[in-house]
Structure 1
Amino acid sequence: MITPEHSAELKETILIVDDDPSLLRLLGIRLSAAGYDVLPAKNAKEALGLLKSSQPQLVISDLKMDGMDGMALFEKIRQQQPNLPVIIMTAHGTIPDAINATKQGVFSFLTKPFQSQELLDTVEQAIRLQPQNEIGQQQADETLWREKIISRSAVMSTLLQQAKQVAKSDFSLLIQSESGTGKELLAKAIHLASNRHKKPFIAINCAAIPEQLLESELFGHRKGAFTGAEKNHVGLFEAANGGTLFLDEIGDMPMNFQVKLLRALQEKEVRPLGSTVAVKVDVRIIAATHQNLQKAIINKSFREDLYYRLNVVELELPPLSDRREDIPLLAQHFLSKCKDKSAHLINGFSKEAMELLISAPWPGNIRQLENVIEQSVALSSEPLISEALIRNALRDKTSQLPSFQEARDHFERDYLAKLLDITAGNVSQAARIAQRNRTEFYKLLNKHHLQAESFREEKKEDDQT
């Protein structure tokens, strides 16, 4: 959350437009005291000029002004910078005016006179929720290697610094992360930052290839090597020669094939199926998995020697829930990708919708976020995507976290069932363990539709077997 102290450090710039000099000066004093840089403009024409020469993160404009009014200025701003948030002020405000303005994409509508804290809270929300307000976006990104990774969070900044540092080496990398976090994007960025960037980057999902085809896909085969092999096939190791081979979901690779992969990495050569001649290859390996490979080693489902061959450097890609600052950026990116498919003009998200996006649990990470945005765009009939659309799209996800009440009820039922199981349905004994009287304990059992008798019968059946 951006606080005034944080704002003072980041120095976000706010363009204020009002033809009342005293109000313009007062707003400037209030916002400057809160730590913002202020650009004053006495009319819309002057504001458009300042917009071209500066990069404000927010525009606050009066509605009624001589010449071009606030809504006309908003339309001009939307044409030039469609993602720049605009707050409209008016002493003539009515509910229909506010509804009309927000439907057209205005971030918020303040009716004068308003309290200083109301102004600062609205400004904070606009800067916090809008993706284009990233300070780093004011400066041209000096590198292109990570341009497809959309982020402004500190945790991702640290990760990308590490990624760029190790990109110049030829060490094998292991990317550890949950599903849907963008492992392939990170791997591609590392390739682009490496000395191999002019050579191929080839990705394969090890979990998506049947075991019997994996060797052919990676090492290739010769004509006649097996039924259906009607011509020579170049494997992905050869195809990526000189470049980078990304092995996604390496933890799902069959044990039988792991030893073959290890040999190829050690010898730096592959032998296509049906060939007696090995082919030298020069590839950098970047592997990725959502599994805990150390546990897989203990469980004998992953080779320890292959793990250490792949895991020279490990990078941990954080889940979306650990980089919530990136959600507005990502949401706007996905909206831009798919809004042209909508039959209606869509400008952005309502404040409530964006707040919900930021606070949602996101067990499916970025992939789930993209799906939610696509579904909301498909069903939206207004210029702004509403909270209701986002909530409905989130509710469709079976992996969504339960509510507090649902989680508590689930725990309570499991706890009671465990007590009855331990005591073989003896309610008095179970109540004593739970430190509840019998009457209260029976109420709890009735609440969760648990019958003590059924646990006694289960115990008898167990004793008889």
Structure 2
Amino acid sequence: MDTFAPPDADALPDPDTLPVVLVVDDEVRSQDAIRRTLDEDFRILTASHADEARQWLTRQAVDVILCDQRMPGLTGVAFLKEVRERWPDTVRIVISGYTDSEDIITGINEAGIYQYILKPWVPDHLLQTVRSAVEARTLRQGLDRLDLELRSAAPVLRARSQKKLGEARSAFGFERMVRAPGSPLEAVCAMAQRVARYDLPVLIGGESGTGKELLARAIHYASPRHAQAFVLENCAAIPDTLLESELFGHKRGAFTGAFEDHIGLFQRAHGGTVFLDEIGETSPAFQVKLLRVLQEGELRPVGSTRAVPVDVRVVAATHRHLEEEVRAGRFREDLYWRLAGVTLHMPALRDRPADIAPIAERLLAEVGAELGRPGLRWAPGTLACLARYAWPGNIRELRNEIARAIALSDEETIEPGVFSVRVLQGGGCEARGGSVAAVQALPSHGTLAERLEVIEAMVLREVLLRHRWNKTRAAAELGLSRVGLRAKLQRLGLEPTQVG
């Protein structure tokens, strides 16, 4: 029997920054071949059998072990089982010239073997495998450190979480629903606050831009589910096939382009609230699938055969009259009653003119801060002009109009004259100097081409500011291609710093 004298301290390689690979193989030629393949990227240690390898492991930190399967005494898999128990951080790789060994087949999982390499191995493949093993070990150590840090910081994180939750409840509570005393919105908010505490589905109706999403968020943060997620999806924004995947998830390979598993919004919101905006735009086929999820409390990701339980509260919204859609056969009646546990209706802005002034004050502060112009004020009579306009686009239109006014005004006080013609005419503001102010903004000298160029630059500046220099959106509003818009900006000398 061969005897082994463990290496003394002087025989150990000098420490450096290279990862350490221990090669365990009873054939010296195999050791040399592996060394030649790896020695540029790694520090190589060698052992001819398990006893010698144990000596290295007790004296030297090792990143990766490359172990031959057939050695004198202990087999490679049997030795790596021991390594897993005593040195679990070391990545274990077995090399073998045999594929029918029952020991290998049954022992790979028990030994936690990272990779099985069949002889004769390819140098490039071996090198890449060891590199990947070192990366995996580094990543695992990083995750372990992060887990330890998170555990030690748990009390601080819990305190911060509670603070953030309190801020969210304040930011998205019913007080966020700006309204004047006696507003029709008061009754809506009062009813919503009462039903928020009960785990009932809510259906919110009303025109686009009336604030249905704000009401849904307020309901969530006033409910027992407030500490869990609030997720939303606009059902009209994507086709049914993608909507099913987005809400319920899909398995890898379920369809073309499904390269990995995808967790749907319902699972992400487990314990919380799902807000389905424009639910009236969904097809009957999708309505059947949604109904099944709501009835059974479980879903099947696309391409999966296993049902996943989910616990969510559904708040849905639509600008359509769903009762009429049901009567017309375009919306399932059974789904309607599943969604309409409680129905709320957001009144249009024209039906609550007293709310326009406080909403405009809030928006002026918010949009002004976003555009880098805080502290703006309304000129006398301006809010009265806004209150007389019908606002068919509701709050969304009001916000856009205020952004336009800020972009076109160089003063700290916003005058009526910077509003669009439709607002000036609808609000009866011409007699108050609105049209005069608009005309005064036009160039008063130069050729027709020069004057048109100035007007064109003004329009581009206003649209770009309103869209925060998003050229794609600005081009779409102006009916231009992105290339065409860029050409105009270059011709007119408009740069982002000039526009802002």
**What is the TM-score when the length of structure 2 is the normalising length?**
0.49
Task: Select 1:178's aligned residue among 192, 195, 207.
Answer: 207
Contact 1:344–1:381 (CA<8 Å) still a contact in 2?
no
Q: 1:350 to 1:248 in 2, by over 3 A?
A: same
Q: Does 1:317 align with 2:317?
A: no
Check whether the contact 1:221–1:232 (CA below 8 A) recurs between aligned residues.
Answer: yes
Say whether residues 1:361 and 2:390 are aligned partners: yes
What pairs up with 1:3-22 in 2 under 5 angstroms?
Answer: none
Query: What are the superposed Cα offsets for residues 282-335 of structure 1, whole Å, 9 maximum, x if unpaired?
Result: 000000000011111122111111111101100111111122222111111111
Aligned to 1:283: 312
1:347-368 per-position Cα deviation (integer Å, ceiling 9, x unaligned):
3111221111111101100000
- Equivalents in 1 of 2:210, 2:374: separation in Å? 29
Note closer, same or farther for the CA distance 1:374–1:143 as it changes in structure 2 (3 Å cut). closer
SS in 2 for 1:207: coil
In the other structure, the counterpart of 2:364 is 335
User: Per-residue displacement from partner, 1:169-189 (whole Å, max 9, x unpaired)?
Assistant: 111100011000011110000
How many residue pairs get matched? 259
Q: 1:254 to 1:361 in 2, by over 3 A?
A: same
Give the Cα separation in 1 of the matches to 2:373 and 2:230.
Answer: 38
Q: Given the alignment of the two structures, is residue 200 of structure 1 paired with residue 205 of structure 2, yes or no? A: no
Distance in 1, matches of 2:392 and 2:244, equals 33
CA deviations on 1:384-422 (whole Å, 9 max, x unpaired) are 1111112537369xxx7999xxxxxxxxxxxxxxxxxxx
Out of 171, 174, 183, the position equivalent to 1:146 is 174
In structure 2, what is the equivalent of residue 253 of structure 1? Answer: 282
Give the Cα separation in 1 of the matches to 2:361 and 2:424.
21
Cα distance in 2 for partners of 1:401, 1:235 equals: 46
Q: How does 1:20-59 map onto structure 2 within 5 Å?
A: none
Match of 1:386 among 415, 421, 445: 415
Q: Which residue of 1 aligns with 2:333?
A: 304
CA distance in 1 between counterparts of 2:181 and 2:422 reads 25
Aligned partner of residue 309 in structure 1, secondary structure: helix
Q: Which residue of 2 aligns with 1:52?
A: none
SS in 1 for 2:176: coil
Q: 1:401 to 1:376 in 2, by over 3 A?
A: closer
Q: CA distance change for structure 1 residues 152 and 297 in 2, over 3 Å: closer, same or farther?
A: same
| Inter-CA distance 315–343: structure 2 relative to 1 (3 Å threshold) | closer
Q: Secondary structure at the match of 1:156?
A: helix
CA distance in 2, matches of 1:333, 1:381: 20
Q: Which amino acid aligns with 2:185?
A: M
Three-state SS of the structure 2 residue aligned to 1:378 is: helix
Distance 2:390 2:415 in 1: 18
Q: CA deviation at 1:341?
A: 5.8
Matches within 5 A, 1:230-249: 230-249=259-278
Partner Cα separation in structure 2 for residue 367 and residue 347 of structure 1: 20
- Name the CA shift for 1:296/1:341 in 2 (closer, same or farther; >3 Å): closer
C-alpha distance 359-198 of structure 1, shift in aligned 2 (>3 A):
same
How far 1:211 sits from its partner (Å)?
A: 1.5
Matching residue of 1:131: none
Residue pairs, 1:395-406, within 5 angstroms: none
* Amino acid in structure 1 at the alignment position of 2:330: S
- Provide the rounded CA distance (Å) in 2 between the counterparts of 1:294 and 1:379: 44
Residue in 2 that maps onto 1:224? 253
Q: Which has the larger radius of gyration?
A: 2
Provide the C-alpha distance between the structure 2 equivalents of 1:153 and 1:170, rounded to a whole number of angstroms: 29
For residues 171 and 379 of structure 1, do their structure 2 counterparts lie closer, same or farther at Cα, with a shift above 3 Å needed? same
Aligned positions of 1:421-432 closer than 5 A: none
RMSD: 2.3
Identity percentage of aligned residues: 46
Instruction: Classify the secondary structure of the residue corresponding to 2:203.
Output: strand
SS of corresponding position for 1:351: coil
Deviation of 1:338 after TM superposition, in Å, equals: 2.3
- How far, CA to CA, are the matches of 1:322 and 1:297 in structure 2? 26
Report the equivalent of 1:167: 196
User: In the TM superposition, what whole-angstrom CA distance separates every residue of 1:220-246 from its partner, at most 9, and x where no partner exists?
Assistant: 001111111111000111011000000
What does 1:72-221 align with in structure 2 at a 5 Å threshold?
145-154=173-182, 155-221=184-250
Deviation at 1:159, TM superposition (A): 1.1
